[in-house]
C-alpha cells in the first residue's frame, strides 16, 4: 500500500515548521515519528497534500527535571520515555506505559507528542497523561500557550490544537505518591491497540478506548474520594463512557473489561503505595 | 525528490517520489531484496531494518525520512565473508522454516542484543513481539537469539 501523492518538506526548526504550516494551512500535516499518520495515509484514510517532517527537530527531544514537574519534548520517542531514569524515578507510570506502546520497532520511531496530537482514543498515552493531569505546551505564530490535558481531546482524532499550532512540550506534575500507579491493557495480540485499558495515579483514572476521546473515569474518582474501596469504586468504571461496538468487542464486553481492569489497577496502585 | 541514504555503508543517491516507502527504496532502488514486505501495516516485522543502528519497520518509514541517515539490511550484516553471530545462530539453532520472517527477525534481534546484550528468554520474547513468524517457529528463533547473546558475551 502506497500513500497518495504529497509534497514532502523537512523542517529544520520549530519556526520553520510553523512557517510551513502557515503557508500550507489545512493541506499540510505535521509528521513526527509517522507511526500513526503513515498507516492512515497508506490506507488512504488521510491524504494530506503536504507533509512537514519534524524528525530533524532534535531540540524537541528531551526529558528534564523542572522541580515540581518533568518536561518532555514533544518529539521524545517512546523508547526514550521508557528508558528515562528521571521518569522511571519520578513518574514510573509514564515510563512503564511508554514501554507498552506497540513493539520495539514502533517505540524506536513513535513520539509522545505525535501520539497525543493524533488523539486516538485507543492509544495508551493519552489516558496515561489524563491520569497524570499533564499540561501541554503548543506553539503558534503568536507564541506559546498551555493547554490542560482535560481540555485537549475534543473528539475522535480532534484536539484543541489550531491547524498552525505545534505541540512542543508535555509537562507532567510529579505525582504526590509516585508509587501509587498502575497501567492495565487488554489486547488480543501483544502489539494490538487496547480493547480497553486504564491508567491510575493518585486516585485519578484514565480510560483507553471507552469512547470517542480518551477520558477520565469521573464516577470512579468520585467514589474513591468518598472513601469507597477499590472494588466498589471500580463498579462505576463504565459510567459516563460511550464505548464502541466493533469487530473486536461489543460495548457490553468493553464495559465489563473497564470494571475488571479498573479494579485490578486500583488494587495494584494501592498495594504499591 | 532527491534522497541520499547510506545503505550498508554505501552511499546511494536517487530521485524518488516523495511518497516512496523505505522498504520499496531498499528493494527497488538499492536492489536489496532480503527485506520483505509482509503485512505492510506495521504489524509483522518482516520489513525490519536498522535505521541509525535501531530496528524500525521500513514499511512505515518514508525514504525521505531516512535521507541523510544510515540503514542496515540483512545483506549488510556479514563482515569479511563471515556471517554475523545472529545469522550463524539462526543456522545452528534451525531458527527458520519458510524463511520469510527471517531477515526481519535477525535485524530485530541484532537491535535487541545491542540494547540488552544478555537478555533473559522472557526479554527475548517480549523484544520480538513486533515480529510474526507465519510458521509459528518461535521456539528456535528465541533459542537462536539466546545462543547469539551467549556467543557475543
Last-in-domain residue among B35, B50, B76: B76
Q: Phi first, then psi: what are they for A116, rounded to 5°?
A: -70, -45
Is the Cβ pair B45, A105 closer than 8 Å? yes
Q: Where in chain A is the domain with CATH 3.30.43.10?
A: 7-53
Taking only the tens place, the pLDDT of each residue in B30-52 is 999 999 999 999 999 999 999 99
Using CB atoms within 10 Å of the CB of residue A123, give its burial: 0 to 12 exposed, 13 to 18 middle, 19+ buried. buried
| pLDDT bracket for residue B151 (50, 70, 90) | confident
Give the burial class of A36: count Cβ atoms within 10 A of its Cβ; 0-12 exposed, 13-18 middle, 19 or more buried.
buried
Residues B51, B95 share a domain:
no
Do residue B28 and residue B9 come from a single domain?
yes
Same domain? B93 vs B135: yes
Kindly report the nearest CA distance between residue A208 and chain B, in angstroms.
20
Which tens digit of pLDDT belongs to each residue from B75-109? 999 999 999 999 999 999 999 999 999 999 999 99
The model's pLDDT over A53-88, given as tens digits with 9 standing for 90+, comes to: 999 999 999 999 999 999 999 999 999 999 999 999
Q: Does A248 touch chain B (CB under 8 A)?
A: no
Percent of chain A topping pLDDT 90: 94
If asked whether residues B24 and B65 sit together in one domain, one would say: yes
pLDDT band at A163 (very low <50, low <70, confident <90, very high): confident
Last residue of a domain, one of B51, B76, B101: B76
Counted domains in chain B: 2
Average pLDDT (A94-123) is 97
pLDDT digits (tens, 9 = 90+) for A5-42: 999 999 999 999 999 999 998 899 999 999 999 999 99
For domain A181-272, the CATH class is alpha beta
Average pLDDT over every residue of A244-266: 97
- Chain B positions touching A109 (Cβ under 8 A) are 56-57, 60-61
Specify the pTM.
0.96
pLDDT at A183: 98
Residue A152: pLDDT over 70: yes
Q: Which of B40, B61, B131 is the closest to A109 by Cβ? A: B61
Q: Say whether both B15 and B71 belong to one domain.
A: yes
Strands A69-73 and A166-173: antiparallel
Over the stretch B123-141, which tens digit does the pLDDT of each residue have? 999 999 999 999 999 999 9
Interface of B with A in 15-74 (CB under 8 A): 17-19, 21, 24, 40-43, 45, 48, 51, 54-57, 60-62, 64-65
- Of B76, B104, B121, the residue at which a domain comes to its end is B76
Cell 513481539 sits on residue = B129
Binned at pLDDT 50, 70 and 90, residue A273 comes out as: confident
CATH number of A60-173, picked from 3.30.70.20, 3.30.465.10, 3.40.190.10, 3.20.20.140: 3.30.465.10
Given CATH 3.30.43.10, say whether it is the number of domain A7-53. Answer: yes
Q: Over range A108-130, report the average pLDDT.
A: 97
B42 with A106: Cβ contact below 8 A:
yes
Phi and psi torsions of B41, nearest 5°: -135, 30
The reply to whether B69 and B89 lie within a common domain is no
Cβ contacts (< 8 Å) between A105 and chain B: which residues?
42, 45, 48, 55-57, 108, 130
Look up the CATH number of the domain holding residue B23.
3.10.20.30
Cell 524463511, residue?
A: B99
Tell whether A106 is within 8 A of chain B (Cβ). yes
CATH 3.30.390.50 segments of chain A = 181-272
Closest-CA distance of chain A to residue B7, Å: 18
User: Do residue B64 and residue A8 have CB atoms under 8 angstroms apart?
Assistant: yes
Round to whole Å and give the CA distance between A234 and A232: 6
Residues B15 and B65 in one domain: yes
- With CB atoms and an 8 Å threshold, state whether B19 touches A105: no
Angle at A211 between CA A206 and CA A217, to 5 degrees: 30
Mean pLDDT of A116-130: 97
**C-alpha dist (Å) from residue B125 to A182, B43, B90, B146:** 23, 16, 15, 10
Q: Residue A192: pLDDT above 90?
A: no
- Give the SS3 label for residue A74: coil
Measure CB to CB from residue B48 to each of A5, A6, A105 and give the nearest one. A105
CATH 3.30.465.10 location in chain A = 60-173
Please indicate if any CB of chain B lies within 8 Å of the CB of A108: yes
Mean model confidence pLDDT for chain A: 96
Number of Cβ within a 10 Å radius of residue B20: 20
Adjacent-strand bridge partners of A169: A73, A137
In the predicted structure, residue A165 carries a pLDDT above the cut 90: yes
Q: How far apart are the first and last CA of chain B?
A: 44
The residue range of the domain holding B17 is 2-76
Which residues have a Cβ under 8 Å from the Cβ of A32 and sit 6 or more positions away?
A: A54, A55, A74, A75, A110, A111, A113, A114, A117
pLDDT at A250: 97
Angstrom distance (rounded) from CA A119 to CA A121? 6
- Contacts of residue A45 in chain B, CB cutoff 8 Å? none
pLDDT at B153: 63
Amino acid at each position: 500500500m502506497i500513500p497518495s501523492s504529497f509534497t514532502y518538506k523537512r523542517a529544520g526548526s520549530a519556526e520553520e515548521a510553523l512557517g510551513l504550516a502557515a503557508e500550507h494551512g489545512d493541506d499540510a500535516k505535521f509528521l513526527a515519528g509517522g507511526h500513526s499518520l503513515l498507516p492512515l495515509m497508506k490506507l488512504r484514510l488521510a491524504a494530506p497534500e503536504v507533509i512537514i517532517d519534524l524528525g530533524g527537530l532534535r531540540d524537541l527531544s528531551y526529558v528534564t527535571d523542572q522541580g515540581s514537574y518533568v518536561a518532555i519534548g514533544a518529539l521524545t520517542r517512546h523508547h526514550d520515555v521508557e528508558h528515562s531514569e528521571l521518569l522511571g524515578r519520578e513518574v514510573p507510570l509514564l515510563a512503564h506505559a511508554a514501554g507498552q506502546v506497540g513493539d520495539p520497532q514502533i517505540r524506536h520511531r513513535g513520539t509522545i507528542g505525535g501520539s497525543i496530537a493524533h488523539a486516538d482514543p485507543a492509544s495508551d498515552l493519552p489516558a496515561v497523561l489524563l491520569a497524570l493531569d499533564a499540561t501541554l505546551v503548543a506553539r503558534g505564530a503568536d507564541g506559546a500557550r498551555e493547554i490542560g490535558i482535560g481540555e485537549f481531546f475534543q473528539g475522535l482524532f480532534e484536539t484543541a490544537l489550531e491547524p498552525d499550532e505545534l505541540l512542543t512540550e508535555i509537562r507532567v506534575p510529579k505525582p504526590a505518591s509516585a508509587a501509587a500507579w498502575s497501567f492495565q491493557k487488554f489486547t488480543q495480540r501483544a502489539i494490538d491497540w487496547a480493547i480497553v485499558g486504564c491508567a491510575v495515579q493518585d486516585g485519578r483514572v484514565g480510560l483507553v478506548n471507552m469512547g470517542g476521546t480518551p477520558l477520565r473515569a469521573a464516577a470512579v474518582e468520585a467514589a474513591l474520594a468518598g472513601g469507597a474501596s477499590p472494588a466498589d469504586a471500580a463498579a462505576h468504571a463504565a459510567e459516563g463512557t460511550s464505548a464502541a461496538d466493533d469487530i473486536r468487542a461489543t460495548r457490553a464486553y468493553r464495559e465489563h473489561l473497564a470494571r475488571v481492569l479498573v479494579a485490578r489497577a486500583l488494587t495494584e496502585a494501592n498495594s504499591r503505595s | 525528490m532527491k534522497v541520499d541514504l547510506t545503505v550498508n555503508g554505501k552511499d546511494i543517491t536517487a530521485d524518488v517520489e516523495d511518497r516512496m516507502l523505505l522498504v520499496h527504496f531498499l528493494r527497488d532502488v538499492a536492489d536489496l531484496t532480503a527485506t520483505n514486505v509482509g503485512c505492510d501495516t506495521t504489524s509483522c516485522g518482516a520489513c525490519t531494518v536498522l535505521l541509525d543502528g535501531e530496528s524500525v519497520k521500513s514499511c512505515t518509514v518514508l525514504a525521505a525520512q531516512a535521507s541523510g541517515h544510515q540503514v542496515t539490511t540483512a545483506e549488510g550484516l556479514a563482515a569479511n565473508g563471515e556471517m554475523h553471530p545472529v545469522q550463524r545462530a539462526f543456522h545452528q539453532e534451525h531458527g527458520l522454516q519458510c524463511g520469510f520472517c527471517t531477515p526481519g527477525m535477525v535485524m530485530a534481534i541484532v537491535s535487541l542484543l545491542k540494547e540488552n546484550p544478555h537478555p533473559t528468554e522472557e526479554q527475548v520474547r517480549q523484544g520480538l513481539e513486533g515480529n510474526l513468524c507465519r510458521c509459528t517457529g518461535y521456539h528456535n528463533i528465541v533459542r537462536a537469539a539466546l545462543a547469539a547473546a551467549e556467543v557475543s558475551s
